[in-house]
Amino acid sequence: MDLSNIKIPKMKFKKMKMNMVEELNEIDYEKIEKKNLKKKRETPYEDTTYYKTVKEFFLKSINEYSSRPCILEKPSHKEPYKTITYKEFGEDVLGLGTALINILNLKDKKVIIIGETQYGWYVSYMAMLCGVGIAVPTDRELPINELESIIRRSRASAIIYSPKKYEDIKKIKERVPEVEYFIEMKSDKPIKQKEVGLEHLIDLGKTLIKSGNNSFEQIEIDPEEFKILFFTSGTTSNSKGVMLNNRNLAENINAVSAYVKIYPIDRLFSVLPLHHCYESTIGFLLPIACGASVAICEGLRYIVPNIQESKPTGILTVPLLVESLYKKINEKIVKNKKDKMVNTMISVTNALKGAGIDIKKKVFREIYDNLGGNLRIIVSAAAPIDKKVGTWLEDIGISFLQGYGLTETAPISALTPEYKTCVGSAGKAIVQADIKVKDPNENGEGELLIKSPTLMLGYYEDEEETKKVIDEDGYFNSGDIGYIDEDGYIFITGRSKNVIVTQNGKNIYPEEIEMILDKVDEIKESMVYGKKPESNRKKEEKELIITARVIPDYEKIEEIYGKISKDEIYNIIWKKIKEVNKKLNSYKAIKSLEIKEGEFEKTSTMKIKRYKELVNK
């Protein structure tokens, strides 16, 4: 999924009448007050889970929720969502796993899974976690040379790929003779040399099961055994192989259950790439463990119609998508001249909620209806987000949660409790984890150290790098800079590798300045860094130059100023930056502006790959 140039389509709202005063008059306040008047929770839920392996909750769910919807996928854009039940999903997973170990002899071998989000990806990943071998989820956007490198580095014995990757696989097939099988999703072609269809394997496995072969289902999973290999798409260095086990993933489920309630009636909307640990663990394994369902988004251009059709209760996403959605909704509200009414009703409903009467979903019903009607949770992670976005979502009645973690923590190490949200923070340490600040400065800021059962086994075939990041006491040096408030909420202020150190020892975190710059209408996106002085400058002038590399919002600029020249655009943005500088301490002030053509290269979770931006700069 190419997330470096996202354009969210316009929200197709119906004209919003928003007769909010009438809504207020029709509400039975006494009934709602009795329903909502509960003591505010301060502690984690008591009925948390204690799973040790993925297979444990997989087998439980396919039996307990057999007739309930599991995966929703659209066969084509014009067709409605097709629902696959837990029973069907379970049978397909057991069938595939049986075939992979009995027919292709892939037991305990590494298997790459690559492709866009689809049913076959889910079935393949679950089969691997439940006893086949070691899963290697891989970014489908990798260029061929990097995909070939991953195949060689991981020493993969098989590749399960989507039909859209067929041409890439065809080009490298002869160059990777060590790969025993190439398995195509959505294909029922029989085994021919090294090629075979995934559907054919599932059918072969089901036949074996019917004949009495239950070898796959009977495999016992060692929670501590290396079972997943994620290659990071890091923003500051080349990818590392992160080794995880079943316990790491199961503890994520246990961690979430203490802070957030997910019910069988819930439905998560899958829009992020599955090769990323965030989506495959929290966006897939979590709902499976809870008997909930997952609706697959067809692609970024279809987000809005897919949400409206699938009617999710939760969306797992990243800041850029949340902010885009927020912007589009509010543009429509302003266009319909309902912004003053909405702001007034936010004040009214906040006051009523404080008195134990929550009527937000009724008052803002038309906004909910245009988001499917059932949305109750939005989770944002992977990067900082503008606080006003989360506050607005809470104001209209949607619980806005933030998560914090890395691939190395599989990924969750902190999460906002739904019963006590704190917009702007990255959440609280999960109940099983200990997070502390290393060598805090006068503001309490320092590198975050994480000790958690979700922490990786180590970096693949790189003991030296593993020892660099995990100390003798078992704490992982995250590389993230932040502080923890008196209530235990974590606030991330930057990355240690991105920090700009001034001559007088002051630390400047680029992310803090970028958050302010990105609020400027004329700026689409920015990256702040310390630029080395030119060699011909005076020797005493060695101070790094705080520089903003900016992508202008050309559409907005034309809307405000009309068609203008590049020089005029530069001058307008520089003027805006001077205004931003007034909000910053003098040592943080931006001294130089660079206009970037094109887009920043990003990771799958939309973080700028700074190290690539700064090569030869």
Domain regions of the chain by residue span: 57-66+81-261, 500-613
CA–CA gap between residue 142 and residue 159 (Å, rounded): 14
Q: In this structure, which amino acid lies at residue 193?
A: Q
Count Cβ neighbours within 10 Å for each residue of 219-234 and write b for 16 or more, e otherwise.
eebebeebbbbbbbbb
The β-bridge partners of 470 are 476
Residue 384 near residue 492, CB atoms below 8 Å: yes
CA–CA gap between residue 24 and residue 357 (Å, rounded): 12
Rg, Å, the chain Cα set = 25
Q: Which helix (H) or strand (E) holds 519?
A: none
**Residue 491, Cβ density class (10 Å: 0-12 exposed, 13-18 middle, ≥19 buried):** middle
Residue 236 near residue 610, CB atoms below 8 Å: yes
Q: Would you identify the CATH topology of the domain 57-66+81-261?
A: Rossmann fold (3.40.50)
Helices (H) and strands (E) in the chain, counts: 22, 26
Nearest CA to 243 out of 134, 152, 127, 141 is that of: 134
Angle between helices 198-210 and 119-127 (to 10 degrees): 50
Q: In this structure, which amino acid lies at residue 423?
A: V
CA–CA gap between residue 347 and residue 395 (Å, rounded): 8
Residue 130 near residue 58, CB atoms below 8 Å: yes
Helix-strand-coil percent breakdown of the chain, rounded to 5?
40, 20, 40
The vertex-81 CA angle with 76 and 83, nearest 5°, equals: 125
Q: Which helix (H) or strand (E) holds 346?
A: helix 339-354
- Residue 609, number of CB atoms within 10 A of its CB: 19
Tell me the mean pLDDT per 10 residues along the chain, length 617: 40 57 64 60 93 98 98 96 98 98 98 98 98 96 90 97 96 95 98 97 98 97 97 65 98 98 98 93 98 95 93 92 86 85 91 86 89 94 83 95 94 96 94 96 92 97 94 94 95 80 69 87 90 60 81 92 93 94 86 91 74 65
CA–CA gap between residue 421 and residue 411 (Å, rounded): 20
Q: In this structure, which amino acid lies at residue 615?
A: V
CA–CA gap between residue 505 and residue 61 (Å, rounded): 55
Strands (E), 280-432: 293-296, 314-317, 377-380, 399-405, 412-415, 428-429
**Dihedral angle sign, alpha carbons of residues 299, 305, 307, 309:** negative
CATH number of this structure's domain 500-613: 3.30.300.30
CA–CA gap between residue 344 and residue 18 (Å, rounded): 12
Q: Which helix (H) or strand (E) holds 66?
A: none
Cα distances (Å, whole numbers) of residue 14 to 305, 321, 341: 13, 22, 17
CA–CA gap between residue 353 and residue 18 (Å, rounded): 20
pLDDT at 38: 56
Residue 482 near residue 437, CB atoms below 8 Å: yes
CA–CA gap between residue 8 and residue 268 (Å, rounded): 19
pLDDT at 611: 72
Nearest CA to 321 out of 266, 381, 376, 268 is that of: 381
